[in-house]
Amino acid sequence: MPPRNTKPMQKPGNAGATIKRIFSYMYGFKALFVFVVIGVIISAFAGIAGNYLLKPLIDNIEESLKTGHWDKSKFIGILAAMAGIYALGALSSFMYQRLMMKISTTTLMRIRNDLFTKMESLPIRFFDKHTHGELMSLYTNDTDTLREMLGNSVAQFISSAVTIVGVFTAMLIYSWQLTILVVVMLFVIIRVIGFIGSRSGKGFIAQQKALGRANGYIEEMIDGQKVVKVFCHEDASCAEFDALNEELCQAATRANTFANILMPIMNNLSYLHYAVTAIVGGIMTVKGFGGMTVGTVISYLQFTRSFSMPITQVSQQLNSVLTALAGAERIFAVIDEEPEADDGYVTLVNAKIDEKGNISETEERTGRWAWRHPHKADGTVTYTEVRGNIELDDVYFGYEPNKTVLNGISLYAKPGQKIAFVGSTGAGKTTITNLINRFYDVPDGKIRYDGININKIKKSDLRRSQSIVLQDTHLFTGTVMDNIRYGKLDATDEEVYAAAKLANADSFIVHLENGYDTMLTADGANLSQGQRQLLAIARAAIADPPVLILDEATSSIDTRTEALIEKGMDSLMEGRTVFVIAHRLSTVRNSQAIMVLEHGKIIERGDHNELIAQHGKYYQLYTGMFELS
């Protein structure tokens, strides 16, 4: 296997571009989004306007106290205006939240779908380079934080910005002198946020690293729990874990301390501001300076509270927003990955073949297939019957540039032939089959399928013409029936039963709780490895392809059962080109050609008898197996 590398967690590299990209997923919601913004503005404005109206109201009361005459209608008028504005505010806040939810959930769904769609189209090479956990966290952690951001932070940011600007304007209108104080305060607030924010940011990065180390250790140890038990290694791993845990605790405490004290600091800076404003405003009112009234001071004091609130909120969310953006960047990085290149134009079609051997294309399933080969030069289309001729011509290949796994492999497989690859682990057996179905690509012309350069064949059609049973069997959530039908989605129940019987899987399936309708969960955890392989064989059988690749397909099936399914396997292989990889030489003995591989080279080839007669490596392997000493 090619080596994997894990990328460390990082801060967003280009926040602006990422935000723009997230917004691009809101297509179709432009009008709604405008409504959201308007709603946010109205709701924020309602809060400010309410406070703004406090001044005339208080002044109205103060005046009545001074003059002894109360302008009641004015009082009611102001109050009614306030009620109206507030009602509007609450209503629009309800509206925009509802709309934003619709936008954010759909946006998130689109991003998820895009990510998954892209993931399905990526080459195998990509999955070699990334661990499952790493990719999985894109769907869990990263989308979760993004959801948080879309759900809360977007509206909050707009609202905060509106409130800050609005309140500041209102303050400026009421008293420019007191607003100087606000500016000074703002400066202090920004410095404090900057100071604490950068420390807590660094703290969180350190925490994330420590968390990664601790969680990685947990994963590894729990995965190997049974080995730990067998070796009585419990105390040693506990001690090692406790050290990592302590480290994590310290980093987390440090990061969270900074995050936690930000709120009280901001809160009390605001009180400080409040007190200073009260003193200065009080003095100004008493001195009659700048037309200051009691109403102005009271309104202004409310403003100082509503001014610092949004700043605190924004600063509190800044960290989660940055985390979300970093996550979004990781998601987009995958979406931007180069998909599996496929410039193939030769396609697989159902074919009708008359007595003279003329091939014509047809819609219906005829059981015969042809390659449809359009020629760009003269615009003609030729058809070649799909037979399963496979030819490798001096193929060199490496998963990494400087490490070749295959060194000049040449072979020719005719329809109906069974070609076996034998050799030790790492000799390159699986690699050859990986090239035949184009999990990995080789230069043009090196591999030909029915005489066609496989790079010209559309990948999906190429793979549809081959069935593969892998060493590690993967099943999907669904019934046994669904899993077998995976090989041919429109197969009838009868076809499924037939395939299961062929693979000798029927006998154990009928003993399952619900027979063919038994649900398989978590990759078929309720089945044994051998039973899973039988299902995989049935799955390959139902696909009915001209080419069959069996990569250690029966390694977990005991030889007795293997003997039982041999007949089924033989009829499955009949008329097809079959590539077999097996450790067990008894499995490959009846192959037309056996290739013995070593270090990516074919060192011996021939049928069983020829190879035995050669007294070479195959002979050694074979007789080594039956050494009776």
Partner 1 sequence: MFKTIFSYVGQYKKQAILSPVSIIGEVAMEVLIPAVMALIIDNGIKKGNIGYVAGMGLFMVGMSIVSLFFGALAGRLSAVAAMGFAKNLRSALFHKVQDFSFANVDKFSTASLTTRLTTDVTNIQNAFMMFIRTAFRAPIMLICALIAALKMNSRLSVVFLCAVPVLALFMAMIMTKAHPRFQAMLAHYDSMNASVQENLVGIRTVKAFVREEHEKKKFLDNTDKVRRAQVNAEKLVIMTMPFMQMIMYTSIIAILWFGGRMAVGGDMETGELSSFISYVGQILMSLMMLSFMFIMFVISRASLQRIYEVLIEEVDIVSPESAETEVKDGSVVFRNVSFSYFKDMNNLALAGIDLEIKSGETIGIIGGTGSSKTSLVQLIPRLYDTTEGQVLVGGRDVKEYDITALRDNVAMVLQKNVLFSGTIRENLKWGDPDATDEEIIAACKSACAHDFIEGFPEGYDTDLGQGGVNVSGGQKQRLCIARALLKKPKIIILDDSTSAVDTATDASIRKAFRENLADTTTFIIAQRISSVQDADRIIVMDNGRISDVGTHEELLRSSEIYREVYDSQQKGADE
Please list every residue from 569 through 588 that binds partner 1, using CB under 8 A.
583-586
- Minimum Å distance from CB 234 to partner 1? 4
Residues 321-380 that bind partner 1 (CB under 8 A): none
Instruction: Give per-residue burial for 290-329: e unless 16+ CB within 10 Å, then b.
Output: eebbebbbbbbbbbbebbbbbbbbbbbbbbebbbbbbbbb
- Interface with partner 1 includes 490 (CB under 8 A)? no
Cα 520 to its chain centre, rounded Å, is 23
Residues 92-131 that bind partner 1 (CB under 8 A): 93-94, 97-98, 101-102, 105-106, 108-109, 112-113, 116-117, 119-121, 124, 127
- Minimum Å distance from CB 466 to partner 1? 7
Using DSSP's 3-state secondary structure scheme, residue 350 falls into strand
473 contact partners, CB below 8 Å, separation of at least 6: 524, 529, 532, 533, 535, 536
Q: Angle CA(61)–CA(66)–CA(67) in degrees, nearest 5? A: 95
Size of the site for partner 1 (CB under 8 A): 166
Rounded to whole angstroms, how far apart are CA atoms 328 and 318?
A: 15
- Interface with partner 1 includes 234 (CB under 8 A)? yes
- Interface with partner 1 includes 513 (CB under 8 A)? no
Give the residue, chosen from 310, 327, 487, 600, that forms a contact with partner 1 under the rule CB under 8 A. Answer: 487
Give the residue, chosen from 14, 140, 169, 514, that forms a contact with partner 1 under the rule CB under 8 A. Answer: 140
Residue among 116 and 187 whose Cβ is closer to partner 1: 116
Using DSSP's 3-state secondary structure scheme, residue 168 falls into helix
Give the residue, chosen from 206, 265, 335, 603, that forms a contact with partner 1 under the rule CB under 8 A. Answer: 265
| 415, burial (CB in 10 Å: exposed 0-12, middle 13-18, buried 19+) | middle
- Whole-number Cα distances in Å, 439 to 406, 555, 576: 15, 22, 21
Query: Between 532 and 561, how does the x/- string for binding to partner 1 read (CB under 8 A)?
Result: -------x---x-----------xxxxxxx
Give the residue, chosen from 21, 305, 456, 599, that forms a contact with partner 1 under the rule CB under 8 A. Answer: 305
- Interface with partner 1 includes 245 (CB under 8 A)? yes
Give the residue, chosen from 42, 301, 390, 411, that forms a contact with partner 1 under the rule CB under 8 A. Answer: 301
- 543 touches 348 (CB < 8 A): no
- Minimum Å distance from CB 502 to partner 1? 17
Going by the DSSP 8-state scheme, the letter that residue 5 receives in this structure is -
- Interface with partner 1 includes 610 (CB under 8 A)? no
- Whole-number Cα distances in Å, 208 to 138, 201, 212, 215, 250: 16, 11, 6, 10, 12
Rounded to whole angstroms, how far apart are CA atoms 414 and 583?
A: 23
Closest to 354 measured CA to CA, from 371, 364, 366:
366
Q: Which two tokens stand for residue 162?
A: 């509106």
- Interface with partner 1 includes 530 (CB under 8 A)? yes
Span near partner 1 by CB under 8 A; candidates 162-170, 186-194, 229-237, 570-578: 229-237
Q: Which two tokens stand for residue 313?
A: 């909120």
- Interface with partner 1 includes 474 (CB under 8 A)? yes
- Interface with partner 1 includes 285 (CB under 8 A)? yes
- Minimum Å distance from CB 305 to partner 1? 7
- Minimum Å distance from CB 579 to partner 1? 13
Residue among 34 and 283 whose Cβ is closer to partner 1: 283
- Interface with partner 1 includes 312 (CB under 8 A)? no
- Minimum Å distance from CB 529 to partner 1? 7
- Minimum Å distance from CB 324 to partner 1? 16
- Whole-number Cα distances in Å, 561 to 128, 257, 280, 503, 581: 33, 63, 94, 10, 18
- 144 touches 328 (CB < 8 A): no
- Minimum Å distance from CB 312 to partner 1? 12
- Interface with partner 1 includes 402 (CB under 8 A)? no
- Minimum Å distance from CB 137 to partner 1? 10
Span near partner 1 by CB under 8 A; candidates 175-183, 270-278, 351-359, 567-575: 270-278
> Which residues pair with residue 447 across a beta bridge?
392
Residue among 17 and 625 whose Cβ is closer to partner 1: 625
| 81, burial (CB in 10 Å: exposed 0-12, middle 13-18, buried 19+) | middle
- Minimum Å distance from CB 109 to partner 1? 4
- Minimum Å distance from CB 16 to partner 1? 27
Rounded to whole angstroms, how far apart are CA atoms 40 and 21?
A: 22
User: Dihedral sign, CA of 504, 508, 512, 514?
Assistant: positive
Rounded to whole angstroms, how far apart are CA atoms 573 and 503?
A: 12
- Interface with partner 1 includes 613 (CB under 8 A)? no
Residues 11-40 that bind partner 1 (CB under 8 A): none
Residue among 242 and 574 whose Cβ is closer to partner 1: 242
- Minimum Å distance from CB 355 to partner 1? 32
Residues 72-91 that bind partner 1 (CB under 8 A): 75, 79, 82-83, 86-87, 89-91
